[in-house]
Amino acid sequence: MKHTLKYIFSSCLILSLFFANAQNTKAPTAKPVKDTVSTGIIPEKAAVATKATVTSKTAVAAKTDATAKKDSVPPVIKTNRYGVRVGVDLFKLSRSFYDKDYKGIELVGDYRWDKKHYIAAEVGNENKTTDDERLNFTTKGSYLKVGFDYNGYENWLDMENIISIGLRYGFSTFNQQLNNYKIYNTNPYFGEVPPIASGQKFNGLTASWIEVVAGMKAKMFNNVFVGFSIRLNRLMTNKQPDNFENLYIPGFNRTYNGSFGVGFNYTVTYFVPIFKKKVVPVEKKKTEKK
């Protein structure tokens, strides 16, 4: 019995020593590698996982940038030119060739003040003989008109066409010569009275008026524009002789009902650019949906 207990005790002791030795034995460690993302040493499996994550994020970012570049359209930058436009009224110039009773010329010009407004002016000279039912008279004089035009047409890109409405103040200085006249005969039994030659002159006459102008100009060639305008006139002042009425005023044209008149011109002009301005479109802010 004594030997049996001794044997059991020795066996237990040997088993306990073997178990303790197994607990103190270290498990093999993974080979350390250097992290490609941050400094330090991390396990190989973690490094592989980190590298895969970084590669995935890089691919997603590259794909996003490529999509953004593909979808985005660069803004179109429009250039507005500013300068002086000068020309001539073809209607008055051509009329001088086919109408023996008329000689005249009108020079026109404008300057682009801003995107929509133009400072405009016309200056001219007329020599016209009017053969009325009872009067034959000759009008000679010069005139000047100054004002502005508003362009209501929205051009595309580099187009420079104009559809405008504007206002002018006109002033004319002129003289009248009564060539001949007829006395009104209340009794037609004796026939018509022959014209009476006069030759009387009236100098130092003046007139001023306001014009409402509507017209357009279209670019035909490089810097060359063709346009026309219609004008409605209203006399402001009119200095005239006691025994003679100003039936025609240079720049104002024929007077109707004493104070109203109409006008028309057909122009060709050349644009002289001075400087340019770039117009960058403003991006609209996206409103967040609630």
pLDDT tens readout for residues 151-201: 999 888 778 899 999 999 999 999 999 999 887 777 766 666 777 778 889
Task: Give me the mean pLDDT over the 219-223 stretch.
Answer: 91
Per-residue DSSP letters for 72-88? --PPPPEEEEEEEEEEE
The pLDDT tens digits of the residues spanning 139-149 come to: 999 999 999 99
Q: Residue 72: its pLDDT value, please? A: 57
What confidence score (pLDDT) does residue 244 get? 85
Report the alpha-carbon distance of residue 289 to residue 275 in Å, rounded. 44
**Integer CA distances (angstroms), 75 to 124, 257, 283, in order:** 46, 56, 9
pLDDT of residue 120: 97
User: Per-residue confidence at 215, pLDDT binned at 50, 70, 90?
Assistant: very high
pTM above 0.75, yes or no: no
- Selected residue with higher pLDDT from 154 and 63: 154
Percent of the chain with pLDDT over 90: 49
The residue written with tokens 């000689």 in the block is: 103
| Of 66 and 227, more confident | 227
| Cα 249 from Cα 207, distance rounded (Å) | 8
pLDDT of residue 290: 46
- Block residue for tokens 């995935």: 56
Each residue of 233-288: pLDDT tens digit?
999 999 988 888 899 999 999 987 678 899 999 999 999 999 888 776 665 544 44
Structural domains in the chain? Answer: 24-72 (no CATH), 80-276 (2.40.160.20)
In terms of DSSP H, where are the helices of 99-187?
Answer: none
- Average pLDDT of the residues in 92-103: 93
Instruction: Please tell me the predicted confidence (pLDDT) of residue 133.
Output: 81
What's residue 105's pLDDT?
A: 96
Q: Where are the beta strands (DSSP E) in 65-133?
A: 78-89, 102-112, 117-131
Let me know: does 79 contact 112? Beta carbons within 8 Å.
Answer: no
- Percent of the chain topping pLDDT 70: 67
Higher pLDDT, 247 or 17: 247
CA dihedral of 82, 88, 91, 93, whole degrees rounded to 10: -170
Instruction: Please determine, for residue 23, whether its predicted confidence score (pLDDT) is greater than 50.
Output: no
The rounded distance, in Å, linking the Cα atoms of 243 and 252 is 21
Mean pLDDT score, 53-78: 57
